Amino acid sequence: MRHTPWFTTCCCLWASLLSAETHVLFVVGPSNHGPGSHEPAAGARLLKHCLEHLDNVPDITATVSLKWPTASERARAQTVVFLGDTFPANRFPDSVRNLADLHLMMRRGCGIVCLHYATGLKREDVSETGEHPLLGWLGGYFANPGSKHHISYATIFDKAKIEPTSVEHPVSRGWKSFTLHDEPYGNNYFGPEDNHPATNVTILATSLQPPETPRREAVAWCVQRADRGRGFAIVMPHFYKNWAQDDLRTLILNGIVWSARRKLPQAGARSKTPDLTRFGAKAIEPPRKIRN
């Protein structure tokens, strides 16, 4: 019997609903960054490993896709995690179709997570006033330099201090303030109302930057959507080596687990510090000449 795509999608969706497992779909978009920077495919494989081996949150499985996911992959996912150079749905071929696919996923309550540059939208991706579905799905985004409505900035800081700001939120469990050499984007875009986050958006972490004229920048946030779905965004890590930072990794794993509507323990999603050499990165450290 030959099954239609609709039949296959429905079967996969019912299977996911009947299963006790939570499935996370990683979608890795194109990236032109050099070795040791971004490394989105290696980062996705590392996070898949961590999620499937959490000390205190069982029954999570994950898939890593290096292309736009199939209907069955989309139907199986409780949350979708994006990595790449700007939002992959706009970088893969047929962005209109991709966004329509995501609309269907979000409408059924699927979660969405964007990491570092995957939070970014280019000028051509948005309307003149900055409208894009990602704003509602995620709660905010990195407005790529060149945008007309708003301009975010990307600067590598030697010692960026990241501090929790909503300690009662489940995603804030199990991690504390930390400092790292990285590129936490600033002046991120949260909407047309004087760039204030919507009422359903929670700022989870901030950083005082830049050092010469510091102001508190939102570097991680989440949204509880009206469709029951959840979104989580964090504008780090730029450097692959920072996946070994336990507090950063816990924050990100918490965000993914929460976006899939799983309950987070008081200790947060606990993972062992991974061996960074295991996941196919081109380099653990970037070349010295491009570290700043």
Per-residue pLDDT of the chain (292 residues; tens, 9 = 90+): 445 555 544 545 444 444 479 999 999 999 999 999 999 999 999 999 999 999 999 999 999 999 999 999 999 999 999 999 999 999 999 999 999 999 999 999 999 999 999 999 999 999 999 999 999 999 999 999 889 899 999 999 999 999 999 999 999 999 999 999 999 999 999 999 999 999 999 999 999 998 788 999 999 999 999 999 999 999 999 999 999 999 999 999 999 999 999 999 999 999 999 999 999 999 999 887 544 4
Is residue 74 included in any domain, yes or no? Answer: yes
- CA–CA distance, 238 with 117 (Å, rounded to integer): 8
Neighbour-count burial for 159-170, b at 16+ CB within 10 Å, e otherwise = ebebebbbeebb
Is residue 227 included in any domain, yes or no? Answer: yes
Q: How many domains does the chain have?
A: 1
- CA–CA distance, 163 with 74 (Å, rounded to integer): 34
Is residue 93 included in any domain, yes or no? Answer: yes
- CA angle, residues 35, 40, 44, in degrees to nearest 5: 130
Q: DSSP assignment of 71-93, as one string? A: HHHHHH-SEEEEESSS-HHHHSS
- CA–CA distance, 36 with 100 (Å, rounded to integer): 33
Is residue 1 included in any domain, yes or no? Answer: no
- CA–CA distance, 178 with 159 (Å, rounded to integer): 9
β-bridge mates for residue 233, sequence order: 114, 221
Amino acid at site 133: P
Is residue 4 included in any domain, yes or no? Answer: no
Is residue 88 included in any domain, yes or no? Answer: yes
Q: What is the CATH number of the domain that holds 81?
A: 3.40.50.880
User: Taking Cα atoms as reference points, which of 117, 108, 51, 35 lies closest to residue 84?
Assistant: 117
Is residue 7 included in any domain, yes or no? Answer: no
- CA–CA distance, 61 with 241 (Å, rounded to integer): 24
Is residue 267 included in any domain, yes or no? Answer: yes
Domain extent, residue 115, equals 13-290
Stated pTM of the model: 0.92
